[in-house]
Amino acid sequence: MNTALYAVTRTLRALFVVWAAFTLTFAALRLLPGDPVALMLSGRGGFAGLTPEQIARTRAELGFDRPLITQYGSALADAVHGDFGASLQSGQPVSRMIADAIPSTLQIGGLALVLALVIGILIGVAANLTASPVLRQLLRSIPSFAVSLPSFWVGLILIQLLSFQWHLFPSLGNSGVQSLILPACTMAIPGCALVAQVLGKSLHTTLQEPYADTVRATGAGRARLLFGHGLRNAAIPAVTVVGLLVGSLIGGAVVVETVFSRPGMGRITQSAVSAQDLPVVQGVVVVAALAFAVVNLLIDLVYPVLDPRIRSTGQLVTT
Amino acid sequence: MTNPTKTPVAPGPAREPGPAQDQDGRQPAREPARIRRTLGAPLRSPGVTLSVLVLLLVLGWAVVPEWFTGRSPLTGTPGERFRPPGTEHLFGTDQLGRDIYARVVHGASLSLRATVAALLIALVGGVVLGLVAGFFGRWADAAIMRIVEIMLSVPPVLLSLTIITALGFGTGQVAIAIGVTSVAAFARVMRAEVLRVRTAPYVEAAILCGTRWWRILPRYILPAAIGPVLALAALDFGLVVLAISSLSFLGYGEPPPAPEWGALVAEGRNYLATSWWLTTLPSLTVTVVVLAANRLSRVLEAEGRNR
């Protein structure tokens, strides 16, 4: 299959997914039993003291009186231009709120991604490298233990021990590099477990294939076999998992930023959901879906580089 | 195969040879021996025994909380505020003098009910979508799988939060949000199984006999195809407990006095510096339950695969 064609179909699919996320949130949020206009006016005393004409005028101003399909069309057109309307709570443009919040979340998210990958890969490799059965069993059980930890608890424990008792890190807020470390560690734990589990399993499988026996027959040691041959062959599932990892980090940001009282996308999401602030929720979901789709697109484009079999057939080969 | 109930409990993977047991007629008669074999061997491992005990205990908390604590989860003793854990108050007391252990025990029914409801929604939704997509194929398959693909392309937490924004707050709403979010994964597994079962000779025979689809689906396809989906539900149990307590921690569960596990942690968070037990012990409960559920589901899955 032609590489260019492959890239084009994957890109179209990513675009489709973002459009679908927009439509899905639009549909879900229009099911809202409450009246968004009432919600918006409630800050100014709700409908009490307002005449029906005033309510109708606000409704018309906001465009909520138009047919649903018209609302959808104009909302989609605006969203393509990066305009998700204004927050019902603060009246600020949603795009502005998101743009202000993204850097902070990218900082802890990026650090968490690096931590999850490095530690996850180390655990996954070590579990296959060690010759001691006890150590191997231990390393293999770390991931399933780590995914069972609620991340709100991990965050609270880190604050309790490292900030309150030993005063090593600032507990809350966003002040300097030091305040990044605890949130990033908390966020990294589930992802780290994911990477360790998938890579560990994938390495284990690939080291049982016939080619591994051939390499062993040449007299190569465990390390040579693993680093020289196994890792490259085990890389495909591990690369796939990066996509899942980004998804889990986006979700994790909501809990972690709430626990550490950090400003960011997660915080915005948390408070927007609490206030049923539709435009903000929709904006956040679409931006997150976009990020998710872009990461998955990049991963799709990396596959053919890693695996020549995909280059020729255009699809994943499972062995 | 004279009297299957007398089959000795095989300690290892020694299994009688034969055709796939899902589809042959002897399966029901072998049930007792199989259950004994499935449950017997792993129960000897202490970790698994402990997991079963933990889950039974929490189930007890959920069903008959009065047996486990005499105290009220909602009214506290003003004179007994912020007592650390001890013999008097197993998990300590909170800012209103309420017994944390009583609150955790009474919270179990909220959290477990939400978990079971979410899994049921995911199961029923996933099974129906998977059956329709896998059996009818063509445009039904294309449409359903496209929707599934979209649902899988939004990070799961955000999908749940969108649904909660639309539905409002409460244990029921949280359960629906988590359940609907999981439907896609269940539908995918179910569809794959249906595609496999559909080509089995007995199904083709039924179709050739003129049996209509509304009899074929429940009688011939569903029983043979549902195994992996049930396994997925078991594997998901711990994750769902975790997701529900996270959403309750974020404040989307029942309103404050309700002792939902996540909400207990969120409330205790204000006293983090002084009263560690308010956050630690409810969180520990969630963790232990999730660990036990994960451990048990992995054992069941491994047993299922061996069979």
The pLDDT of residue A300: 81
User: DSSP letters along A202-269, please?
Assistant: HHHHHTTSHHHHHHHHTT--HHHHIIIIIHHHHHHHHHHHHHHHHHHHHHHHHHHHHHTT--SHHHHH
Domain span holding position B242: 43-73+89-306
**Mean pLDDT, residues A21-37 taken together:** 72
Q: Would B52 be classed as within a structural domain?
A: yes
Q: Which helix (H) or strand (E) holds A38?
A: helix A36-41
Give the pLDDT score at A250: 85
Distance in angstroms (rounded) separating the CA atoms of residues A87 and B63:
43
Give the separation between CA A245 and CA B241, rounded to whole angstroms: 20
Residue in chain B nearest A151 by alpha carbon: B246
What is the Cα–Cα distance from A118 to A125, expressed in whole angstroms? 11
- Pick the closest to residue A253 from B57, B231, B155 (CA basis): B155
Higher-pLDDT residue of B33, B89: B89
pLDDT tens per residue across span A85-121: 777 777 788 888 888 888 888 888 999 999 999 999 8
- Residue ranges covered by each domain of chain A: 103-313
pLDDT category at B178 given cuts 50, 70, 90 is: very high
Of the candidates A24, A273, A274, the beta carbon closest to that of B150 is on: A24
Are residues B144 and B129 in contact, defined by beta-carbon separation less than 8 angstroms? yes
- A110 Cβ under 8 Å from any chain B Cβ: no
How many CB contacts within 8 angstroms connect chain A with chain B?
137
Q: Token pair 């445009």 is at which residue?
A: B139
Domain membership of residue B37 (yes or no) is: no
Q: Say whether residue B43 is in contact with chain A using an 8 A CB cutoff.
A: no
Min Cα separation B274/chain A (Å): 10
As a whole number, mean pLDDT of residues A261-282 equals 86
Compute, in degrees rounded to 10, the torsion defined by CA atoms A162, A244, A317, A204. 20
Residue B117 gets the label, from left (phi > 0), alpha (psi -120 to 50) or beta, of alpha
* Size of chain B, expressed as the number of residues it contains: 307
Band of pLDDT at residue A39, cut at 50, 70 and 90: low
Model confidence at B7, pLDDT cuts 50, 70, 90, reads very low
Helix, strand, coil in percent for chain B, rounding step 5: 70, 0, 25
Say if B200 is an interface residue toward chain A (CB within 8 Å).
Answer: no
Q: Does A167 touch chain B (CB under 8 A)?
A: no
Quick one: how many helices (H) and strands (E) in chain B? 12, 0
Q: How much is the ipTM here?
A: 0.82
Q: Is residue B185 part of a domain?
A: yes
For residue B215, give every residue at least 6 positions away whose Cβ sits within 8 Å of its Cβ, in sequence order, or none.
none
Residue-averaged pLDDT of chain B: 79
**What pLDDT does B12 receive?**
41
Q: Which of B157-171, B179-193, B248-262 has the highest mean pLDDT?
A: B179-193
- Would you give the distance in Å from CA A171 to the centre of its chain? 24
The partner residue sitting opposite A250, judged by closest CB among B158, B245, B272, is B158
DSSP bridge pairs for A86: A93
pLDDT band, residue B103 (cuts 50/70/90): confident
Give the model's pLDDT for residue A316: 54
User: What confidence tier does B23 reach under pLDDT thresholds 50, 70, 90?
Assistant: very low
Q: Is residue B277 part of a domain?
A: yes
Interface test with B, best of A39, A89, A152 (most B CBs within 10 A): A152
pLDDT band at B4 (very low <50, low <70, confident <90, very high): very low
Q: pLDDT tens digits for A273-297? A: 888 888 888 888 888 888 888 888 8
pLDDT above 50 for A45: no
Nearest residue of chain A to residue B298 (CA atoms): A144
Give the separation between CA B298 and CA A63, rounded to whole angstroms. Answer: 52
Phi, psi of A93 (to 5 degrees): -65, 135
| CATH number for position B269 | 1.10.3720.10
**Cα distance between residue A144 and residue B301, in whole Å:** 14
Residue A121: strand pairing partners: none
Distance of CA B299 to the CA centre of its chain: 15
| H-run or E-run covering B125 | helix B100-136
Q: What is the mean pLDDT of chain A?
A: 80
Q: Which two tokens stand for residue B125?
A: 């939704």
Residue A31 has pLDDT above 90, yes or no: no
Q: Is the pTM of this model over 0.90?
A: no
CATH number of A103-313: 1.10.3720.10
pLDDT of residue B122 exceeding 90, the answer is yes
Taking CA atoms, what residue in B is nearest to A145?
Answer: B291
Write out pLDDT tens, residues A186-206: 889 988 888 888 888 888 888
State mean pLDDT over B185-191: 91
- Residue-level pLDDT at A318: 45
Higher pLDDT, A123 or A161: A123
Query: How confident is the model over A242-249, as a mean pLDDT?
Result: 84
Q: How confident is the model at residue A222 (pLDDT cuts 50, 70, 90)?
A: confident
Residue A84 pLDDT more than 60?
A: yes
- Residue B208 scores a pLDDT above 80: yes
pLDDT per residue over B34-91, tens digit each? 655 555 555 667 778 888 888 888 888 878 777 777 777 777 677 777 777 777 777 7
In this prediction, what percent of chain B has a pLDDT beyond 90?
11
Higher pLDDT, B92 or B41: B92
Question: B99 forms bridges with which residues in the sheet?
Answer: B93
Least CB–CB distance from A149: residue in B153, B250, B287: B287
Chain A residues close to B294, C-beta within 8 Å? 144, 147-148
Nearest to B261, CA basis, from B234, B287, B235: B287
The pLDDT assigned to B28 comes to: 47
**Does the pLDDT of residue B206 top 70, yes or no?**
yes
Number of domains in chain B: 1
Q: Among B155, B167, B249, whose Cβ lies nearest the Cβ of A152? A: B249
Q: Which residues pair with B93 in a beta bridge?
A: B99
Looking at residue B40, its pLDDT comes to 59
pLDDT at residue B1 is higher than 70: no
